[in-house]
Homo-oligomer: A and B are copies of this chain.
Amino acid sequence: MTAQIAFTVDPWCVREPELRLDVLGTTESVFALSNGHIGVRGNLDEGEPHGLPGTYLNSVYERRPLPYAEGGYGYPESGQTIINVTNGKLVRLLVDDEPFDVRYGTLLRHERKLDLRAGTLERVAEWRSPADQEVRITSTRLVSFTHRSVMAILYEVEPLKHAARVVLQSELVANEQLPMPASTDPRVAAVLESPLAPLEHDRDGNRLTLIHETRRSGRRMAAAADHLIEAPEGVKTSMETAVQENWGRVTATATLQPGQKLRLVKFVSYGWSSERSVPALRDQVAAALTGARHTGWDGLVAEQRAYLDDFWAGADVEVDGDPDLQQAVRFALFHVLQAGARGEGRPIAAKGLTGPGYDGHCFWDTETFVLPVLIHTAPDAAKDVLRWRHSTLPKARARARTLGLEGAAFPWRTINGDECSGYWPAGTAAFHVNADIADAVIRYRDAVRDEEFDRTVGTELLVETARLWRSLGAYDRAGKFRIDGVTGPDEYSAVADNNVYTNLMAQRNLRAAAAVCRRYTDEATALGVTGKETTAWRECADSMYIPFDEKLGVHPQSEGFTDHAVLDFESLTDADYPLMLHMPYVQLYRLQVVKQADLVLAMQLRGDAFTAEQKAANFAYYEKLTVRDSSLSACTQAVMAAETGHLGLAYDYACEAALMDLHDVTGTTLNGLHMASLAGAWSTMVGGFGGMRDHSGTLSFAPRLPPELKRLSFGITHRGLRLRVETDGAEATYTLTDDASTLDLLHHGQRVTLVAGEPMTLPVPPTPARPRPQQPHGRQPRDMRAGS
């Protein structure tokens, strides 16, 4: 894929200057709109051609059986797959009986633009029909941040040369036919056909309602659309409405002179529930439509911009010196916001609501990669995700019991909280997800100081995950606390002993649980926590075994890892990657080869547990082994490259992470955006070149710039205060914008107290010179300039 040339480079938008049918699936993902509740792919208004049509509602999924050639105790029998719900985006156009289809006639102009400040997807098309009629079509689409259930479209058409009879058909369509999966990659989501059983359909004037139910999972969902048609004075329009079980249609016809526009505003609302009745759902979507009509198109547009203005004021990252990177980082932040803004107690999937990849499942990515961004830019969205995790505690407790463990065992991949992983060595065994959730709780607490959350949701999550670790690990003969037979972040190793990442994260988890129980004794007592238990947690943490290879002077990723043979990278070519599609696990697992940062991620998240020398040695060691077959790697490598002083390398990785989807680095963007890598793009700036860490409860920064960048500025929200950090590489300036506040922070290790309204400028110390670490043969950071 070379989708990168599809887009122009602009600071505040992503623009496709001409239609590229060859990468339509990719651009649909890039142009997806979402508010975390509704997600719509950037499909053309007229529906066809498409890469993959997609409309999603957070947590509307279908169950499907998980088959096994050889079953085993505790294997989940049923999985969940996000489904393509009723499509409300469709607006078809006929010009003098000729359907507007970009594959026929002549496309004179076609431009699409995702506006990161307006929160809209705009389109302009000028088309000459096979019958030589020319029209201009403009459409603007938004999924409202302020009206959670509402999508709206403004669609306009005007003839350019001759009078034309135009027909607009605005539709709702359920159970759209989906294309066959274009890949044998097992990561590509299973496609479910006709998942929606019709319950009710209705029309009322220009209003359409379709109510359906998923066949197995019993999710009832309603979609409704209302329409405003405006024609120039004197132009007669005819309207017609039809509805059936799986589709509804409003048709408007008019004959227009050149310069005359037919204008359609389409409001679409969605609602779903596994509990509420059909009448309740019917009323819910009707109310949402009424609300949207009351606000009106211009009102929705204005609210959208105001919402985003506020977001950008606090969260914008400015990057001078690399316009591609500037665009990519804002694009990334925009999509991370879209994924979580209005989730409200629902998960953030690995692809957000931009595509069906990974079956719409939420993984550890969310807590480890996405939440750090939201915690510092949209903390309420972060809280909502953790509340969702908390709501699944009963399932996680039951899962732990099934596994013979205490506390809670959260699923590796899920939508509703039930484990959906059909391959336990890279699923159930990846217990680190539990510490990752705890880590997000700790980071949220440190950054937001939300006592009510901490006392309730936070305490229970920390306690139950700590209980898991205590039951999972054991003391060895030497009195060390070991955690054997688990899988760390690197999926090219599995079921190994004493994974350093896991053990360090579990250590943090255990200590935090003990601490929170000391703070909130009533809540702890209600959870059955005793002093003996918290003491045991602290002892486990203090005795945690962290293997170290004295001879090599590095940490083995897991015990024994550095004794394994190194994969013969020299024998491989580009076509052999990603390795899991060309080599069996039985080979990958027993060799030194790293799919994605594991020990290196431990050094980012538990930087307090390593010396600077260890970080430098470990980073160089694992660079030689890491092939980045996961999109979750480059961002972490960028951050740790920056910390260990390899700023050029950090820059290269930052570009790769930030451009993962805009350049379709993995060739899988058509299945949805890589939300964790997008979040990681922010981390490369803030955690990488900004050096931000929050290991100890005190924010620390260590700004440093690679030669390619002239200036970096970013804003974060910390404990309700807005902080802006700016550096040109020589100095760094910290500004607290809120009145009458102060903030203690560390600048390159120096403790300072920042006072609101008094920007503080401090010098950046020189970077120690070290040779640039080497990557495996052929796995250097991608040159993101190459194709653009």
Residues of A within 8 A of B (CB): 66-76, 79, 186, 402-405, 421-429, 474, 476-477, 482, 484-486, 494-495, 497, 551, 559-560, 563-565, 580-587, 589-591
Contacts and interface: CB of A to CB of B under 8 A. Distances in A.
A551 to B, nearest CB: 7
A563 B422 contact: no
Given A482-B565, A485-B589, A497-B560, 19 more contacts: A68-B68, A69-B76, A70-B186, A72-B585, A73-B580, A73-B581, A73-B582, A403-B587, A424-B584, A425-B425, A425-B495, A428-B586, A476-B563, A482-B564, A484-B563, A484-B590, A485-B591, A497-B563, A497-B564
A422 B560 contact: no
Contacts of A583: 73-74, 404
B68 A497 contact: no
Contacts of A477: 551, 563
Nearest to A187: B70
A585 B477 CA distance: 24
B72 A69 contact: no
A79 B73 contact: no
Contact of A580 (B67, B72, B421, B485): B72
Contact of A589 (B405, B495, B551, B584): B495
A591 B426 CA distance: 19
Contacts of A426: 70
Pairs A-B, 8 closest by C-beta atoms: A69-B422, A485-B590, A474-B565, A67-B67, A74-B584, A66-B69, A484-B590, A70-B423
A185 B422 CA distance: 18
A560 B560 contact: yes
B73 A497 contact: no
Contact of A584 (B69, B72, B421): B72
Nearest to A549: B477
A87 to B, nearest CB: 29
A79 B69 CA distance: 9
Contacts of A590: 484-486, 495, 497
17 contacts: A66-B69, A67-B68, A68-B422, A69-B79, A69-B422, A70-B186, A70-B422, A73-B580, A424-B584, A424-B585, A474-B565, A476-B565, A482-B563, A484-B565, A484-B591, A495-B589, A497-B564
A76 B427 CA distance: 21
Contacts of A559: 560
A30 B222 CA distance: 62
A494 B495 contact: yes
A591 to B, nearest CB: 8
A403 B560 contact: no
A68 to B, nearest CB: 6
Contact of A423 (B72, B581, B591): B72
A69 B426 CA distance: 12
A423 B73 CA distance: 13
A69 B70 contact: no
Specify which of A73, A427, A586 lies most central, judged by the most chain B CB atoms within 10 Å of its CB. A586
Contacts of A474: 564-565
Specify which of A405, A425, A582 lies most central, judged by the most chain B CB atoms within 10 Å of its CB. A425
Contacts of A428: 584, 586
Nearest to A475: B565
Contacts of A565: 474, 476, 482, 484
Nearest to A581: B73
A586 B429 contact: yes
A74 B559 CA distance: 27
A554 to B, nearest CB: 13
B586 A424 contact: yes
Contacts of A72: 186, 423, 580, 584-585
A624 to B, nearest CB: 15
A75 B423 CA distance: 12
Contacts of A70: 186, 421-423, 426-427
A500 to B, nearest CB: 15
Contacts of A482: 563-565
A551 B476 CA distance: 13
A580 B75 CA distance: 12
Given A70-B423, A423-B72, A402 B79 contact: no
B584 A404 contact: yes
Contacts of A423: 68-70, 72
A484 B581 contact: no
Nearest to A184: B71
Contacts of A563: 476-477, 482, 484, 497
Specify which of A68, A75, A76 lies most central, judged by the most chain B CB atoms within 10 Å of its CB. A68
A452 to B, nearest CB: 36
A75 to B, nearest CB: 8
A421 B586 CA distance: 13
A79 B70 CA distance: 11
A581 B75 CA distance: 11
Nearest to A559: B560
A565 B79 CA distance: 32
Contacts of A584: 72-74, 402-404, 424, 428
Contacts of A494: 495
A582 B73 CA distance: 6
A423 B476 CA distance: 30
Contacts of A589: 485, 495
Contacts of A69: 66-68, 75-76, 79, 421-423
A68 B75 CA distance: 12
A175 to B, nearest CB: 25
A70 to B, nearest CB: 4
A79 B589 CA distance: 25
Specify which of A403, A405, A423, A587 lies most central, judged by the most chain B CB atoms within 10 Å of its CB. A587
A402 B586 CA distance: 11
A586 B67 contact: no
A680 to B, nearest CB: 24
Specify which of A428, A584, A591 lies most central, judged by the most chain B CB atoms within 10 Å of its CB. A584
B186 A586 contact: no
Contacts of A71: 186
A70 B494 CA distance: 15
A474 B568 CA distance: 12
Contacts of A186: 68, 70-72
A413 to B, nearest CB: 10
Contacts of A424: 584-586
Specify which of A70, A74, A482 lies most central, judged by the most chain B CB atoms within 10 Å of its CB. A70
Contact of A484 (B75, B425, B564, B580): B564
Contacts of A402: 584
A551 B72 CA distance: 35
Nearest to A77: B69
Contacts of A586: 74, 403, 424, 428-429, 485, 495
A124 to B, nearest CB: 43
Nearest to A472: B590
